[in-house]
A = this chain, B = another copy of it.
Amino acid sequence: MTADVPKVVIVGAGFGGLTAAQALARAPVDVTLIDRHNFHYFQPLLYQVATAALSPADIAWPIRSIVRRQKNITVLMAEVEGVDPQARLVHAGATAVPYDFLVLATGATHSYFGHPEWAAVAPGLKQIEDATRIRRKVLLAFEEAELIDDPDEQRRLLTFVVVGGGPTGVEMAGAIAEVAHYALPSEFRRIDPHAARVILIEAGPRLLPTFPEDLSAYAAQALEKMGVEVMTSARVTDCDGRGVDLEASRIEAGTLVWAAGVIASPAGEWLQVEQDRAGRVKVGPDLAVPGRPEVFVIGDTAAAVDAEGKTVPGIAPAAKQMGAYVAKVIAARASGRPAPGPFRYRHQGDLATIGRKAAVVKLGSVHLTGFIGWLFWGVAHVYFLIGLRNRAVVAFTWLWNYLTYQRGARLIVDGPGGQEEARAEKAKPQAPAVEAGRTRSRDQAPVEGTDWR
């Protein structure tokens, strides 16, 4: 580090933070990029890890490796515990990192709408660890069913419930159905994986509420063709280790997956500034915190409205655009140039895959479905994967899976009743203040007040 250039600290190396760090490559600043993991990962493909199609390393890259040629970046793997905006320090363990500009890009986590205890039994899908945990649960359900004789318990174990009909829920339900109905049947002798039930529960009247109605209808049809039971206008009232309660009925299930809501990480609490009900920090038109022009909040952690009055959604392209924008603002201010105008969000489209040969794509007025949609989705995702090696391996693995119906990454790595389950029992408490809070992410309707259980 040199002492005479401004210090930029970026917390979080997701899409927003990493884009900001990379966009500062030529700015006269020293960048410190802090993340509690040593890797950046491609969240849109996490469900493929959860359903054993890809390995974690196929969709994740060491942060250091990504930015190794950028000499003005220091990467620190550390858990940030707080920010001191007066002293301009970021606290991470025993280390205090000083900043002149701060970018908080710490993302979001699952929201259980005031029921943190559900986290232990209905894992969400945000982190690599979530994905391997869900993979383990799904695969173990088949193994345990094969081992026992009680038909009721076998039926329960082979019932998979996905809560939330946004893109993640649709993708998970489709992928679990594929595993059960295509990948596994020839491999079991005592149970028939074809008999597995996959149920997708959505509180609103239709799947994919952020998509146009024709694509929602197509998605529901395609899922049903794959054997997924789609329940709309169905509200979860309780989850436990053996199933899920709806308003009027109960479903006994071995595996619950939560894809219904997100809540921002605690950046707002660190800063002691105004947050919306989902814990997101309300930022100004330049994505800075009001009254703190040197502190920016981007990505899923920010409640941002762009120059045209559009609410910026919690999706990867939005986070990247915000990251690139704050880098421009910081570079301008560090160089004494005038800062750019307010942030403008460009919506590029919506994508969700349903399974083998089916996806829905909305690009402006163009709606794609079926095989064409799936091809477009595949090409787009391989294109956005970082690193030549991963692109090649993912493309090859997909082609292989497509041709053979196999799934290569089917490892259960903790044994039955292992440590991972024990960890899951320690549900991370959710802030009670956000009981009704929710953010608009790709998995949530833009309508404020919709109950997404």
**A interface with B by C-beta (< 8 Å):** 1, 36-39, 55-58, 60-62, 64-65, 68-69, 73-79, 93-95, 128-129, 132, 139-140, 143, 146-148, 184, 186-190, 387, 389-390, 392-393, 396-397, 400, 404, 406, 408-416, 419-420, 422-423
Q: List 27 A-B contacts (CB under 8 A).
A: A36-B416, A37-B411, A38-B143, A38-B412, A39-B411, A39-B412, A57-B408, A57-B411, A62-B410, A62-B411, A65-B410, A75-B189, A76-B147, A77-B140, A78-B416, A79-B416, A93-B147, A95-B147, A128-B413, A132-B413, A387-B408, A389-B406, A392-B396, A393-B393, A393-B396, A393-B397, A396-B396
CA distance A314 to B132 in the complex (A): 33
Closest residue on chain B to residue A410 by CB atoms? B62
- Overall SS of chain A's interface: mixed
CB distance from A405 to the nearest CB of B (A): 11
Q: A55-B55, A393-B397, A396-B392 are in contact. Are A129 and B62 (CB under 8 A)?
A: no
A132 neighbours in B (Cβ, 8 Å): 413
Q: Out of B76, B184, B412, which one reaches A37, CB within 8 Å?
A: B412
B415 touches A389 (CB 8 A): no
Q: Are A75 and B412 in contact (CB under 8 A)?
A: no
Residues in B whose Cβ lies below 8 Å from that of A187: 62, 64-65, 68, 75
- Contact residue among B60, B189, B397, B406 (Cβ-Cβ distance under 8 Å from A74): B189
| A30 nearest CB neighbor, chain B only | B189
Number of copies of chain A assembled together: 2
**A139–B38 CB distance below 8 A:** yes
Q: Within the assembled complex, what's the spacing in Å between the Cα atoms of A397 and B65?
A: 16
Residues of B within 8 A of A393 (CB): 393, 396-397
Q: A143 contacts which chain B residues (CB < 8 A)?
A: 38, 77
Chain B residues with CB under 8 Å of A415's CB are 36-37, 79
Q: State how many angstroms separate the Cβ of A387 from the closest Cβ of chain B.
A: 8
How distant is the Cα of A121 from the Cα of B22 in the complex, in angstroms?
A: 38
Q: How far is the CB of A229 from chain B (nearest CB, A)?
A: 26
Once bound together, how far apart are the Cα atoms of A411 and B60, in whole Å? 8
Q: How far is the CB of A70 from chain B (nearest CB, A)?
A: 10
Contact A413 B79 (CB under 8 A): no
Q: How far is the CB of A186 from chain B (nearest CB, A)?
A: 5
User: Which chain B positions have C-beta within 8 A of A56?
Assistant: 55, 411, 413
A65: B residues at CB distance < 8 A: 187, 406, 410
